[in-house]
Structure 1
Amino acid sequence: MSPAASPLRDEGTRSQVVLAGAIAGLVSRFCIAPLDVLKIRRQLQYHSLADPLSTPLSRTSGGVLYLARDILRHEGITGFWKGNIPAEGLYLSYGATQFLAYRSANQALDLVEQRGNVKIPGVAKSFLAGATAGTVATTVTYPLDLLRTRFAAQGTERVYTGLIASIRDISRHEGPDGFFRGLPAGIAQIVPNMGLFFAFYESFKPLDADIHLPFGSGDALAGIASSILSKSAVFPLDTVRKRLQVQGPTRGKYFGSAKMPAYRGVMGTIRAIVQKEGWRGLYRGLGVSLVKAAPASAVTMWTYERALSVIQGASQQSDAGHGIGGS
């Protein structure tokens, strides 16, 4: 069959994709919130190779367990959910925007194939659609991402008294640009990250049909493998983004940032981290990030596929019911 004769894939309607993506984002966030806080704290641990008084190496190497005990001891169990309100908004809007943009990009590429009578390789199509989806979702939801990071980075000292207060404070002292600190690093990270993620996911997903894993777990395993591979490739840019997000008038008040220097720009931040902390500084938090990536991606993709299937099934039953009633 020629490319022009290939039917468009059934990716669901816009409303179905938005709803399924939103559900996937909310469920995923609820499950991995504590790991997200630990990852952000780990990335903000500053250790100058030339300053033995900065965060001790024994503590940075202790990593997640040290941080978890410290949070539990000084901030209580609720400390693991700091920043959860903007994070829930972030995951809700990001999940909906990401899957909607991914579906739209896929359909646009399908139309290019049909009208141009060309065949775009499947992996290339997934990469382009994923990169587009990631860029759109990151830009639209970035202010929530910044707020999530700042709240998660608050230790025992409260920088902001609440969500509304934080928005008002940033607007007053940093202006609109304050909500987009580190966005270039976010875009530079998300394009290859999401492009690679969806490319890997679409490559791994057909294996479920051959292996016949129970309960749709093939979707979850494909999400895990895809996320680990893609996140590892671009993790330094995620660290750069987090460091840039806590810049501004309140820079020295966040966890681990008392001795942290001021950073400017993506390349300037990379150079500063490498010079002061070594290459290891760019990868601090990678371990917990990968641990987080597995359940987050598994839950997200599994929930999305199941939610979309349920929503489409309910829609078909509703349409059938209307058809019977109207005949």
Structure 2
Amino acid sequence: MPPTSQTTSTDNKHKGTRTQVVAAGALAGLFSRFVIAPLDVLKIRLQLQYHSLSEPLSTTNHHAIKRPAGVRQVAWEILRHEGITGFWKGNIPAEGLYLSYGAVQFLAYRSCNQAIEELEKKAKVRVPGAAKSFVAGAAAGTAATTVTYPLDLLRTRFAAQGTEKVYEGLLASIRDISRHEGPAGFFRGLSAGVGQIVPYMGLFFAFYEGLKPPMANVQLPFGSGDAVAGIMASVFSKSAVFPLDTVRKRLQVQGPNRARYAGGARMPEYRRGVSGTLSMIVQREGWKGLYRGLGVSLVKAAPASAVTMWSYERALHMLQGLNGRS
């Protein structure tokens, strides 16, 4: 008899072989990325908008809009100048990112939980469920972020390309970064990424594991409370760490081609790391500068997390079923 929806999520980290967990996580990441790609491009474009508080608001210069554009304006500009495919810019490295990130994340989450359980047995102690989920989620996020960061950087740079092409293709971008920025160029902003993902994934899994049991009886057209728990957990955790995501995006487009990206011509050069970039954004753009694109990010986070968790659990069940029948 298959497990009920209430026991599925809390038990999933204990179930499935390593191969099944990796495959289910990869499929979940791949499917989720395709669904939310347009929102991801919009969020990145909004985060890269620069507006100094010392400059007067003006929209008279078409090439340098000083007033931060809204979601509808940015979407219209992309559609008008880049076509519908503009919303999927950077999709090739992004698919690779989500595919590998999902696999590494769920594998690391499962492995970390198993390690904590072994430690509990040896030390004869009981770790609270929320603390266990936080530690495992943070470790999983750190591992996945570090391993896949070069793909994340490439995704951001391609999504930030406007009508002017900075790179002709994926291989050309890798050659260009290697030649002009060296290996370190692929990891610009990594400290902000890790600093963001540790609390984000820790909070996400802690919220998710805590919300899943009470949400188990919520019925939706496409499944159980997995999606509801995923949405709520993502919104709470994403809002808490969003400023570091903005810093990461700003740092990722630094380098010799900074002025050629959408919004990059007016963006200053950030040389003082994460804390210096945070301080510089607040001083020049105010606190609002750190939260530009948050609305789109939350709208994106809800379906992304819901689709990821829903498809992960369904894929894992399917793989377990296939293995059982074989």
Task: Using structure 2 for the length normalisation, give the TM-score.
Answer: 0.92
- Aligned pair count reads 309
* 2:246 partner letter: T
CA distance 1:106–1:83, shift in 2 (3 Å): same
User: Within the alignment, does 1:297 sit opposite 2:275 as a pair?
Assistant: no
SS class of match (1:47): coil
CA distance 1:9–1:65, shift in 2 (3 Å): closer
Moved over 4 A (4+): 210-215
Give 5+ residue unaligned stretches, structure 2: 1-10, 59-63
CA distance in 2, matches of 1:223, 1:210: 14
Q: By how many angstroms is 1:49 displaced? A: 1.1
Structure-to-structure mapping, 1:187-266, within 5 angstroms: 187-211=194-218, 215-264=222-271, 265-266=273-274
What's 2:34 paired with? Answer: 30
8 A Cα contact 1:197 1:227, kept in partner: yes
CA distance in 1, matches of 2:12, 2:45: 44
SS class of match (1:206): helix
CA distance in 1, matches of 2:280, 2:217: 48
Equivalent in 94, 97, 107 of residue 104 of structure 2 = 97
What's 2:3 paired with? Answer: none
8 A Cα contact 1:146 1:181, kept in partner: yes
* 1:118 partner letter: V
Give CA-to-partner distance per residue, 1:143-196, whole Å, 9 cap, x none: 000000000000001000000000000000000000000000000000000000
What's 1:42 paired with? Answer: 46
What's 2:166 paired with? Answer: 159
CA distance in 1, matches of 2:245, 2:13: 33
Give CA-to-partner distance per residue, 1:261-306, whole Å, 9 cap, x none: 1002001101110111011000000000000000000000000000
User: Within the alignment, does 1:106 sit opposite 2:113 as a pair?
Assistant: yes
Equivalent in 101, 110, 115 of residue 122 of structure 2 = 115
* 1:312 partner letter: Q
Q: By how many angstroms is 1:207 displaced? A: 1.6
8 A Cα contact 2:204 2:233, kept in partner: yes
Equivalent in 283, 287, 295 of residue 287 of structure 1 = 295
Q: By how many angstroms is 1:214 displaced? A: 6.0
Q: By how many angstroms is 1:12 displaced? A: 1.3
Q: What RMSD in Å do the two structures reach over aligned CA positions?
A: 1.5
Q: By how many angstroms is 1:8 displaced? A: 11
CA distance 1:260–1:212, shift in 2 (3 Å): closer
CA distance in 1, matches of 2:303, 2:219: 21
Q: By how many angstroms is 1:257 displaced? A: 1.2
* 1:105 partner letter: C
User: Within the alignment, does 1:271 sit opposite 2:275 as a pair?
Assistant: no
CA distance in 2, matches of 1:270, 1:8: 38
User: Within the alignment, does 1:315 sit opposite 2:315 as a pair?
Assistant: no
Q: By how many angstroms is 1:215 displaced? A: 4.5
* 1:201 partner letter: Y
CA distance in 2, matches of 1:18, 1:251: 36
SS class of match (2:223): helix
User: Within the alignment, does 1:150 sit opposite 2:157 as a pair?
Assistant: yes
CA distance in 2, matches of 1:311, 1:230: 30
Equivalent in 167, 174, 196 of residue 181 of structure 2 = 174
Give 5+ residue unaligned stretches, structure 1: 1-6, 319-327
Q: By how many angstroms is 1:210 displaced? A: 4.4
* 1:219 partner letter: D
8 A Cα contact 1:40 1:153, kept in partner: yes
**Identity of matched residues, %:** 73
Give CA-to-partner distance per residue, 1:70-125, whole Å, 9 cap, x none: 00000000000000000000000000000000000011111111121111000000
* 1:20 partner letter: A
CA distance in 1, matches of 2:240, 2:53: 25
CA distance in 2, matches of 1:8, 1:41: 36
User: Within the alignment, does 1:140 sit opposite 2:147 as a pair?
Assistant: yes
* 1:46 partner letter: Y
User: Within the alignment, does 1:80 sit opposite 2:92 as a pair?
Assistant: no
